[in-house]
Amino acid sequence: MVIVDSSTLIHLSAIGRFALLKDLYGRLTVTPAVWREVVDQGKDRTGVADLEAAREHGWLEVRMPGNQPLVHSLRHELDEGEAEVIALAIEHPGSLALLDESDARRVASSFEIEKTGAIGVLIRAKVEGRIDSLRSELDRIRTEGGFWIEDELYQKVLQAAGE
């Protein structure tokens, strides 16, 4: 199961790269809190129609984590969407969580949840030949998508990708 948090959806959609998620992972799962944040509260955002279409076509599903006490406990450190993503990933061992926020990634690591984020998606897309230039996509996600990347990480990612 690939469980996606709001940030990854919002930032990839902002640069017109939401379809990469389907290309790379096939099926996606979001939690109710993520759906509310991205679609219900983000009606004017780029990419909302893509998410609604993905759900209608059956490759994006909304699933509630069953362990609500765990979600409640995780809410002490994380926002509701991140807490639900991590709880759902715990319930489904072997899941991949797409998380961008450092606190959420730290908590996911403490539960040994496999994770990546928007940058990891773009790296994989480059490796698989689905995008031509990682640099141009990273620049777009920073400027058009409002995604913050430390300069040191930006340089390391480009160097690792051979750009």
Per residue in 42-80, pLDDT tens? 777 777 888 999 999 999 999 999 999 999 999 999 999
Nearest-CA neighbor of 145 among 153, 135, 137? 137
The answer to whether 113 and 120 have CB atoms below 8 angstroms apart is no
Annotated domain spans of the chain: 2-119
pLDDT per residue as tens digits for the range 78-105: 999 999 999 999 999 999 999 999 999 9
Question: 126: pLDDT confidence band, cut at 50, 70 and 90?
Answer: very high
* CATH no., domain 2-119: 3.40.50.1010
pLDDT per residue as tens digits for the range 29-41: 999 999 999 998 8
Secondary structure (3-state) at 4 = strand
55, two tokens: 């759900």
